[in-house]
Structure formats: structure tokens, C-alpha cells
């Protein structure tokens, strides 16, 4: 909303400056406003791209964010957000093929549909920049590191090898989560669980702490000693 306002302000200032220079006003009103009656601004369309792993459940317009009595609702100017959810964007086609590639691969990663990636992109070379973007969206540090390493060597990302990294990461994450469940079931402390993860998966203390930090409170003990859990992927939006 603020970005749109500044865009309109910038264009108004450019038109006003030109009109002041030309001094071709038809009335005193035009002179005072620095805008001719026929002057028009170009429309600004802003898109909010949400690439969180979970469905968007936030507001979609300004009014949704306001504590607003019904009797004054008609008097309040609303402002709509044009939201694109990456996970449900399968029907969208973008003019830029790189954008299509980022959306398509990221959706498949979220859905754990590695066969689709392998079939459609297994032999495809993508730029390291796209690899970094996909890694950032899906929170895959291994994919980011893989892309940056290839960039330093002047190469491109082969999705077949990148896919292997993603599958390994997903498998390891599931195994770590299972270890945390087991440790909580037998009442081991967080510190003891961290030590077990370091030893079992050959992780550094920092890597183990990161895993524990993201999963410890997501693994919930059920009556009878059984456990269940989920992994929460932080949601973000690009404005």
C-alpha cells in the first residue's frame, strides 16, 4: 500500500514538474495543482507472493486488519491485496520462463513430488541464481550451498544432482525427528537428545541445536507414551 502510494506520488511529481516548466495551464486551478484536467497517472498493480508451506490464513485487505464497527465500515476506504500463493499457483503461467521454473520446482518440493522434478527437470541445467532462489523459498540450505558452489566454479545447477541432495535432506530430517520422538518418549533431556543427534548423524553442535530448536516443541507426547508431531515451516511473504 505504501509502495503504491509512493509510486503515484513520484509520477505526480514528474508530471507537475513538467507542467511547471511548460507553463501551459488552462485555468488557475490547474496552475495551483500543477496538474492539467487531462493529466492521468498510470495504474500500479502490486502482487504479494506468499511462499509459506502452510495455507495463507491472514488478511486479504485493509479492512480485515481493522477493528471496525459495522456502522462506519461504509466510510472506510478499503485496500485489496493481490495474493499469489505459491503452493496453489499451478494454473498460473508467467511470461518469464525462469519464474515458471521457480514456482513449478518449489511447488513440487513442498509436495515432496521428487519424481515430477526428476521427470520434468532432471536433465535441465538452471542458473545458480535460480538455484539459490528455489533453495531460499524451500528453506533448503543444501540446495543454496550446491548452487553457490557451482556459481564459484562457473557452472550451472543440474536438477538431477540437486534432487539427490533434497531427498537426502528430507530423509535425514525424518530420521532426526524420529530420534527426537524416541528420546522424548524415554524422558531424555533436551541436552541429552542433542548429544544423541550429534553422535548419530555426525552433525556439528550448531546444526544439532538448530534441529532441536525447530522440532523439540513440535513433537508432542500422547497418552500412553506414544508421540506425534509436525514440522512448521516459517511463512513469509515477498511484498
Position with higher pLDDT, 238 vs 175: 175
pLDDT in tens, 115-148: 777 777 777 777 888 888 888 888 777 788 878 8
**1-5, 11-15, 183-187: which range is least confident on average?**
183-187
Average pLDDT over residues 158-170: 65
Residue 32, all three cell numbers: 495551483
pLDDT confidence bin for 71, thresholds 50/70/90: very high
Helix (H, G, I), strand (E, B) or coil at 37: coil
Residue 44, all three cell numbers: 500500479
Which one, of 234, 226, 172, 229, lies nearest residue 197 by Cα? 172
pLDDT at 156: 66
Strand order in the sheet with 237-238: 82-85, 47-50, 237-238
- Give the separation between CA 79 and CA 16, rounded to whole angstroms: 26
Query: Does the pLDDT at position 231 exceed 60?
Result: no
pLDDT in tens, 173-220: 778 888 888 888 888 888 888 888 888 888 888 888 888 877 777 655
Q: Which residues have C-beta within 8 Å of that of residue 193, sequence separation ≥ 6?
A: 179, 180, 183, 184, 212, 216
Integer CA distances (angstroms), 74 to 68, 71, 81, 164, in order: 10, 7, 19, 55
DSSP 8-state class, residue 60: S
Please give the backbone phi and psi of residue 126, each rounded to the nearest 5 degrees, phi first.
Answer: -115, 155
Average pLDDT over residues 11-24: 93
Amino acid at each position: 500500500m505504501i509502495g503504491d502510494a509512493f509510486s503515484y506520488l513520484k509520477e505526480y511529481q514528474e508530471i507537475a514538474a513538467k507542467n511547471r516548466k511548460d507553463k501551459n495551464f488552462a485555468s488557475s486551478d490547474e496552475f495551483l495543482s500543477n496538474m492539467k484536467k487531462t493529466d492521468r497517472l498510470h495504474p500500479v498493480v502490486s502482487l504479494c507472493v506468499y511462499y509459506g508451506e502452510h495455507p495463507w490464513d491472514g488478511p486479504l485487505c485493509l479492512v480485515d486488519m481493522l477493528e471496525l464497527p459495522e456502522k462506519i465500515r461504509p466510510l472506510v476506504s478499503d485496500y485489496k491485496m493481490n495474493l499469489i500463493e505459491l503452493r496453489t499457483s499451478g494454473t498460473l503461467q508467467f511470461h518469464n520462463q525462469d519464474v515458471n521454473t521457480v514456482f513449478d520446482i518449489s511447488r513440487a518440493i513442498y509436495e515432496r513430488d521428487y519424481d515430477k522434478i526428476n521427470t520434468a527437470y532432471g536433465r535441465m541445467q538452471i542458473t545458480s541464481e535460480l538455484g539459490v532462489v528455489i533453495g531460499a523459498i524451500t528453506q533448503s540450505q543444501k540446495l543454496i550451498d550446491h548452487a553457490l558452489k557451482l556459481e564459484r566454479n562457473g557452472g550451472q545447477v543440474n536438477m538431477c544432482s540437486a534432487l539427490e541432495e533434497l531427498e537426502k535432506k528430507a530423509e535425514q530430517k525424518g530420521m532426526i525427528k524420529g530420534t527426537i520422538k524416541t528420546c522424548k518418549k524415554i524422558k531424555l533431556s533436551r541436552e541429552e537428545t542433542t548429544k544423541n543427534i550429534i553422535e548419530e548423524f555426525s552433525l556439528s553442535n550448531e546444526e544439532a541445536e538448530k534441529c532441536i530448536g525447530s522440532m523439540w516443541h513440535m513433537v508432542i507426547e500422547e497418552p500412553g507414551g506414544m508421540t506425534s508431531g509436525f514440522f512448521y515451516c516459517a511463512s513469509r511473504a515477498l511484498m
